Copies of this chain bind each other. A is one copy, B any other.
Amino acid sequence: MDLRKLREINIRETKQKVKDSVTDDLILIQGVHAYNELIRVESRLLNVLKEWYGYYFPELTEKDNFPELIPESKNVLMKKFGIKETMGSDLSDNDVKTIKDFSKQISELKKSRISIEDYISIKMKKIAPELYKTATSIVGARLIERAGSLKHLAELPSSTIQILGAEKSLFRHLRQKTKPPKYGVIFFHPDLVKAKQDEKGKAARKLAARISIAVKQDYFRNERH
């Protein structure tokens, strides 16, 4: 076999290896990045919208459902809020149209975020069904994202899983002797959300232990194939 042919085979094999190295959890991680970024982006644009719209109808407050109410006309809003006049300025039609378009854009982003949420959920059920059941879709996916892969998450001790995603606060603890973090991304798990403030630490420890077992089941089940 001549050298050129050998080289060709070599390149082909390397390319195949590169292809195969992309496992499903790595693609999931990209979905999580998109999801996290969309949440951040949504809230930043929403802040701009609130301030902008505030000149037009300041009676709309933080608590109101912003992008959903903005398409309404001023008169409809005044009726809804039970007021006869608003302190807001009479903006030009073009101003109002631009604000409403901007608001629509934020609603579109929200839809985008929700569809990526569904995508993550489908992928989680496939890659890590036990983790999905124990940690919920988003929390589980974020744990994989923080760990870097399903394999790496399966290798982590439960005490690390508990504070995964709280790296900043952990390093602050190590440097400045502040309190150590009690939880990272698992903070948004229903078990922790509903736990009382002084029981959150204990709930986090319990949950992390269960997650640690679930993720090992998922990982070694895949390994057997």
| Residues of A participating in the B interface, judged by any CB pair closer than 8 Å | 15, 18-19, 22, 26-27, 30-31, 33-34, 37-38, 40-41, 44-45, 48-49, 51-52, 55, 85, 87-91, 94-95, 98, 101-102, 105, 108-109, 112, 115-116, 119, 122
**This chain's copy number in the assembly:** 2
Give the nearest-CB partner of A115 in chain B. B101
A52 touches B34 (CB 8 A): yes
Inside 8 A of A26's CB, which chain B residues have their CB? 55
Query: How far, in Å, is A17 (CB) from chain B's closest CB?
Result: 10
Query: How far, in Å, is A189 (CB) from chain B's closest CB?
Result: 24
- The CA of A119 and the CA of B93, in the complex, are separated in Å by 12
A30 touches B45 (CB 8 A): no
Inside 8 A of A90's CB, which chain B residues have their CB? 19
Inside 8 A of A88's CB, which chain B residues have their CB? 19
